[in-house]
Amino acid sequence: MKDETLQLESTLPGEVAESAGLRATLNLATLPETGALQRLLRKVESRTAVIGIVGLGYVGLPLMLRYTYAGFKVIGFDIDADKVAKLNRGESYIEHIEAQSVGEAVARGFQATSNFSRAAEADALIICVPTPLNGYREPDLSFILGTADALVPAMRPGQVLSLESTTYPGTTEEELRPRLEERGFEVGRDVFLVFSPEREDPGNAQFKTRSIPKIVGGSTPACREAGLALYGAAVDRVVPVSSTRAAELTKLLENIHRAVNIGLVNEMKIIADRMGIDIYEVIHAAATKPFGFTPYFPGPGLGGHCIPIDPFYLTWKARQYGLHTRFIELAGEINDDMPGWVIGKVVDTLNERGLALKGSRIMVLGITYKKNVDDMRESPSVRLMEMLREKGVEVSYSDPHVPVFPKMREHRFDLQSTPLTADSIARQDLLLLATNHDAFDYEFIGKHAKVIVDTRGVYSGARGNVVKS
């Protein structure tokens, strides 16, 4: 064999591999049991590998685009026939992903399908499906397991299977590996199993799929090398860890870190409010310290698919070890109480103006879980709308990113976004600013509103018709 090496970073835990810099080389002949692995790595290196992306949502769709533009043929799998049809027509159903990008991917050979038997055509299968909680705040792995059960019967030797869905430590080894072994595969020799947590941040223009470092853990050393090669061909920096369990816990730590700090600042918000202090002034002042402080900002509650959900994957798993995650659970309790605290502020604000909550007209400004996106997953704005409706409020909303309230599994409103005019604003008894989109004209809104309850700190200083919440 000629100088058959693949540029990979070191695989020691904690060391960072920079695939763009090609800092280290791995001689494929030195790997144990490398027959299938060498063939896979050669395909990845030559861009002849076929990449299968399973789940074409906020994680899978950007990943598909990245691999397509990196020169790979990509097959996208999704159970939603409408999504499949739109993608094959070159259309996008996610606001921050342009239809032009999808059309270019189709022109480069991308195909979407609901036929999971086509998994045999792929050399790599990357699972990007939801991992919600059930009604008891326990992990719901039905999407992962259903996907695995659909893929594994079609799999063949020489493939790498990567799970990106956030989950508790042990899922890859306890749920996916047995399914592969029951099929007769030897993991690490015949097929390769990887966990590489997604790190997408929808709508964040500063970071793209290519520039966000990728954590990679494998079931075996050979699996890890397959994962490093797979992701190193598409992203600028890959970071190996010692196991799939370490990779799974890494993702949970990232999100728990945010959930706990948001819980802290939400508690500080309540304290500051009782003391008559502007918490946003305090946060901005504290952020001038050049070390030892990271600013987090309060809000009406947690949203998105990660922060409200992922910490409880670890609390559930920790109980199996006889441990109680007190910080995580306390932060969850504080964050979960935020919508109720906001409603209390709304009630007090109306009472001060001689109005009852029941029968009042309230418009919610912004109903996505964060600003400048169309992502409705776990949005606290929707919970606020439901709480107001239950109390007899005439609820409306305005959101330039959500022209019509979408069909959701747990939430139903037959509403369309109300255009913000002087009249539509003035006829409301109260405006509840829940998501601070840049597209809103806050000066215009403030000029015509009777009163605004601001949950995002948009309005600084003292304004007679603004109440901070």
Dihedral (CA of 377, 381, 382, 387) sign: positive
Per-position DSSP letters for 383-418, written without gaps between them: HHHHHHHHTT-EEEEE-TT-SBPPP-SS-----BPP
Closest alpha carbon to 452 in 335, 436, 414:
436
Dihedral (CA of 149, 150, 151, 157) sign: positive
Residues 6+ apart with CB under 8 A from 249: 169, 314
* Token digits of residue 242: 């010692």
The helices-and-strands tally (H runs, E runs) of the chain is 15, 15
As a whole number of angstroms, the distance between CA 302 and CA 332 comes to 9
Dihedral (CA of 397, 400, 404, 409) sign: negative
223 noted as active-site residue: no
Instruction: Report the DSSP pairing between strands 361-365 and 238-240.
Output: unpaired
* Token digits of residue 236: 């600028």
Closest alpha carbon to 188 in 160, 213, 214:
160
CA distances from 379 to 1, 231, 303, 373, 388 (A): 56, 31, 5, 12, 15
Whose tokens are 């270019």? That residue is 104
- Could you say which of 223, 306, 357, 467 is catalytic? 306
* Token digits of residue 411: 């939430």
SS3 75: strand
- Per-position b or e across 211-223, b if 16+ CB within 10 A of its CB: ebebbbbbbbbbb
SS3 217: strand
Per-position DSSP letters for 103-171, written without gaps between them: HHHHHTT-EEES-GGGGGG-SEEEE-----B-TTS-B--HHHHHHHHHHGGG--TT-EEEE-S---TTH
Task: Enumerate the active-site residues.
Answer: 306
